[in-house]
Amino acid sequence: MNQQKQQDINSQLKRTLKDSFIYIPARILPAIIGIILIRVLTTLFTQEEYGHYQITLSTFGLIRVFAVFWLSMSVIRFYQNHRHQQKEETFFSTLLACSVGGVIIVTGVSLLVNVIIFQQRISPGLFSLINLAIAASVFNSFFEIFVVIYRAGLEPKKYTIFWSLFALIKPMVGISLILFLDFRVDGIFWGFLVAALSLDFIIFYKLKIFSSFHFRSISIPLAKEFFAYGMPLSFSFLAFWILSLSDRYLIEYFATSSDVGLYSVAYAISEKTLNFIYTVLMLAAFPIIVDNWEKNGQSHTQNLISHLTRYFFLLCVPILTILVTLPKTMVLIFSDAKFVEGTRVLPFIAIGIFLFGLTQYVLKGFELHKKSIRIATLALIAGFSNVGLNIFLIPRFGYFGAGLAAMTAYAIYFTSAVFSVRKYMAWTPPLISIGKILLAGFIFAIFLRSLTEIFPNILTAVFLIIPFGLILFVLILILLKEISQQELYRTKEFIINLIK
């Protein structure tokens, strides 16, 4: 029996790895484009315009919290079960009804708030930008909710195609409007609107949403289940919106716009690297975890999550090591030299984002037991801790204090999650594997620091020191018997077959 369970886990891990590779374009494109846009937009816009862009983007993100996430997460959680029971018509009808209702309420409230509260308090240009972002969020919401059906249905290729198109069309349209038709910041948000609207038509056609929709098929109990499961998670996302964006406003209030820029670049570099690895893994893993939970129960799923935690450490520790050990090199690679001051805050932000990614594995016990309110509570505690720490630290240490606050808040989130989840499904980390991986990371860090001090050239670091350091990292794990020869052979075979 134990041997059969291990074979099942190995099979699921192989599928997770395979799907992860398929999901890579859906996440690597936004990551690459995000880094490029830092350079492009700061060149195209004045400081004031770039500030307006960031504030409008933050508003767009806040709308997504309540219009999108409660339904997109519910799709991942409940779609498989309804498909197995051949109740897709009920599922699609209820999902569309909830989407329309949710978008109308959220965008309506957003417009009222902007008109009644902010119209007299902000510049006309910023007021118009926010209204445009609200309009774009309507079509963006439908795209983000319904594209997740492909992910929940374990169709990673289709999901990847649509997300890749979305990631490409948005900046292409936006920057084209700026360069050729003299648009300013509004061009970027027109790009958001055009990209989402175009892809909405295609997705609805492919999924046959309108032909599947019938008023009689709308299930009130299912809608309530969506709300009960998804809305607490939306408050979790609200907490992370506070966690990731409130510090920008507080740095602006207590320091300067220049400090906001330095901090934002350091944050973006950490996010676009570490978050990318975690997201690709979890995109593939979560539907498989849910499917495993439905079929095999808690103990089997706990074991699967433990194995996935090991993969998280294997992939993220070397990235974290590079960011912490060579922050100046990373800033110079990914941004203009005028942002090099952001070097000093990068290691703290990187550690915080690493802890955030790890926490997602810890929280699977809450998610599978439908205790999303617990996740929301922990996230809100972390978010408000970050705000409080920022208010205390930024006036004393500037944006460096914001980096310390972010790292501390993520540590609070991780620690509280580990202790809180034990009542439902304890996280069982592979401690021996983690110890070996951290040891390899420590040796990797010494290697990087020593050689970059002798050879400080950036190109030498990128093309020689870091690649050889990564090889050293893998060799140490082989010597420690953490990575077996068989595992390497299977990985090589898998990559070759995937390419073919």
CB 23 within 8 A of CB 156: yes
CB 403 within 8 A of CB 448: no
CB 474 within 8 A of CB 483: yes
Instruction: Report residue 242 as tokens.
Output: 């506070």
- The SS3 of residue 154 is coil
- The SS3 of residue 335 is coil
Rounded to the nearest 10 degrees, the angle between the axes of helix 156-181 and helix 124-152 is 160
Note the pLDDT of residue 406: 94
- The yes-or-no verdict on residue 116 having pLDDT over 80 is yes
CB 440 within 8 A of CB 477: yes
Closest to 253 (Cα-Cα) out of 401, 51, 61, 394: 394
CB 362 within 8 A of CB 497: no
Q: For the segment 56-70, what is each residue's pLDDT rounded down to a tens digit?
A: 888 888 888 888 877
Phi, psi torsion values for 428, nearest 5 degrees: -115, 85
- The alpha carbon of residue 379 and the mean position of all alpha carbons in its chain are separated, in whole angstroms, by 15
Fill in the DSSP letter of residue 483: S
Q: What is the DSSP string of 93-144?
A: HHHHHHHHHHHHHHHHHHHHHIIIIITTTS-HHHHHHHHHHHHHHHHHHHHH
Query: Mean pLDDT for the chain?
Result: 84
Compute the average pLDDT of residues 29-46. Answer: 78
Highest mean pLDDT among 74-83, 89-98, 461-470, 476-485: 461-470
Closest to 154 (Cα-Cα) out of 290, 284, 8, 20: 284
Q: For the segment 251-267, what is each residue's pLDDT rounded down to a tens digit?
A: 777 877 677 778 877 88
CA angle centred on 464, ends 463 and 466, rounded to 5°: 85
Contacts of 492 (CB under 8 A, 6+ apart): none
C-alpha distances (whole Å) from 486 to each of 157, 324, 437, 491, 493 are 28, 31, 18, 9, 10
Note the pLDDT of residue 23: 56
What's the pTM value of the predicted model, to 2 decimals?
Answer: 0.77
Contacts of 151 (CB under 8 A, 6+ apart): 76, 159, 283, 287
Residue type, 383: G
* Contacts of 490-497 spanning 24+ positions with Cβ under 8 A: 494/14, 494/17, 494/18, 495/21
C-alpha distances (whole Å) from 48 to each of 53, 117, 125, 185 are 9, 21, 11, 10
Closest to 409 (Cα-Cα) out of 366, 344, 359, 346: 359
Note the pLDDT of residue 495: 58
Closest to 417 (Cα-Cα) out of 356, 369, 370, 368: 356
Q: Which of residues 281 and 19 earns the better pLDDT score?
A: 281
Note the pLDDT of residue 160: 82
16-38 burial, b for 16+ CB within 10 Å, e for fewer?
bbebbbbbbbbbebbbebbbebb
Closest to 40 (Cα-Cα) out of 336, 272, 387: 336
Note the pLDDT of residue 348: 96
- The yes-or-no verdict on residue 10 having pLDDT over 80 is no
